[in-house]
Amino acid sequence: MQATAALFLVRPLPRPHYRCLHGLRGGVSLAPPRRRLVARGPRCSMSLSIGGGAGAGAGGDHGFSYEHIPVFPRYRIRDPYKLLGVDRDAAEEEIRSARNFLIQQYAGHEPSEEAIEGAYEKIIMKSYQQRKKTKINLKTKLKKRVEESPSWVKALLGYFEVPQMDIISRRLFFFAFIAGWSIATSAENGPAFQLAISLFSCIYFLNDKMKNLMRASTTGFGVLVGGWIIGSLLVPLIPTFIIPPSWSLELLTSLVAYVFLFLGCTFLK
């Protein structure tokens, strides 16, 4: 009996077997892993949305709502004049004022702003195209009139040309200075010296185009004489209450001559 008890104590105890709840790995039963206790908070079932009104996410606004932003009621109209509320013959300043007013009223609503800007650009572009077309038509009509005019008119127009605007402005400024100089010194002496300067200047400008000093001198002197004769005929017809008392007949005639000299040296070929 004692030997049996000693043998039982020496014999090792059998190891307990556990069933694998998650399957077998390599044919060997594995003990279930220990579970970790993780503190979990309550789940939130609410989702945050910006501008979650009736129109949120609709109409291509990507979840943004224009609930509190004024919407332009005519922004879907295709006619740019009706959209801006202006007449078809309205001036450009009026169209710009209507555009600025509507942009301020409906700022923040992107479709309204795009519609207002698009209508304004269409009207301005159409106006520019019409002006360009009218200018081209005017040149075409003038050219056609010249081609249909008599031969003597064509021959007369062949002596004239239209230079660049900078040339016209510079020569206009020069002869205006001569005229002002003559008016400022009219009480002291006559405009003979200023007339001589204007004549030589006209001959110089004509010679620069004609490349012929004799022809330029003859043309310049003829323009001066013609202007003086026409001035002497026109000046007596001017009412006396328009003319300042210090202006003499010679000064008025010289002013007309300056105009002819400017036209001659600028537009004659």
For the stretch 19-49, pLDDT in tens is: 444 444 444 444 444 444 444 444 433 333 4
136: confidence class by pLDDT, cuts 50, 70, 90: low
- The residue ranking higher by pLDDT, 198 or 18, is 198
For residue range 213-234, what is the model confidence (pLDDT) as tens digits? 999 999 999 999 999 999 999 9
The CA radius of gyration of the chain, in Å to the nearest whole number, is 49
For the chain, the straight-line distance linking the first and the last C-alpha, in angstroms and rounded, comes to 153
> Which CATH code is given to the segment(s) 80-145?
1.10.287
- Single out the residue of 45, 50, 48, 42 nearest to residue 66, CA to CA: 50
Distance CA(86)–CA(98), nearest Å, equals 8
- The residue ranking higher by pLDDT, 57 or 126, is 126
pLDDT of residue 134: 66
Lowest mean pLDDT among 12-21, 88-97, 202-211: 12-21
Each domain of the chain, given as residue ranges in start order, spans 80-145, 159-267
